[in-house]
Amino acid sequence: MIKDVVGSKNYSVWLGMLKRLVPYGRTHRLSVVVASILQVAYEIAQEKEKSNAKARQLSSIFESAGEQNEENGIKPLLKITEQLFKDAGVGFKRANRKGSSYSIAEEAVHQFLNWDAMPWET
């Protein structure tokens, strides 16, 4: 869905970035890169939503996620984020040193949802 809104050129660049960065990248850095991709996709969706049904749908997913609505917002956004990794042909599931599994896609969604949070300003 993101590709339909942001265009093939942007999407292709993002996939190329993920192909290069994800295999050996650190999760705390990758999650911010992917959150940045989501932020740009959201801005483009907002710009196009008056004339583009897919942009309206994508914008709605981002806005629902921003409301922290688990079923109606975060899960669809997580699915879209996981699709980015799948389209790039790289994994998003990892395990820490203790063997506990986690998801770069989930971390990216968390970073997106907290995009404007600046703990040092509170």
CA angle (62 as vertex; 7, 84 as ends), nearest 5? 50
Position 84 scores a pLDDT of 96
- Threshold 0.95, pTM exceeds: no
Q: How far apart are the C-alpha atoms of 81 and 92, rounded to whole Å? A: 9
Higher-confidence position of 11 and 28: 11
> Are the C-beta atoms of 80 and 5 separated by less than 8 Å?
no
- Give the mean pLDDT of 16-26: 92
Mean pLDDT of 43-47: 96
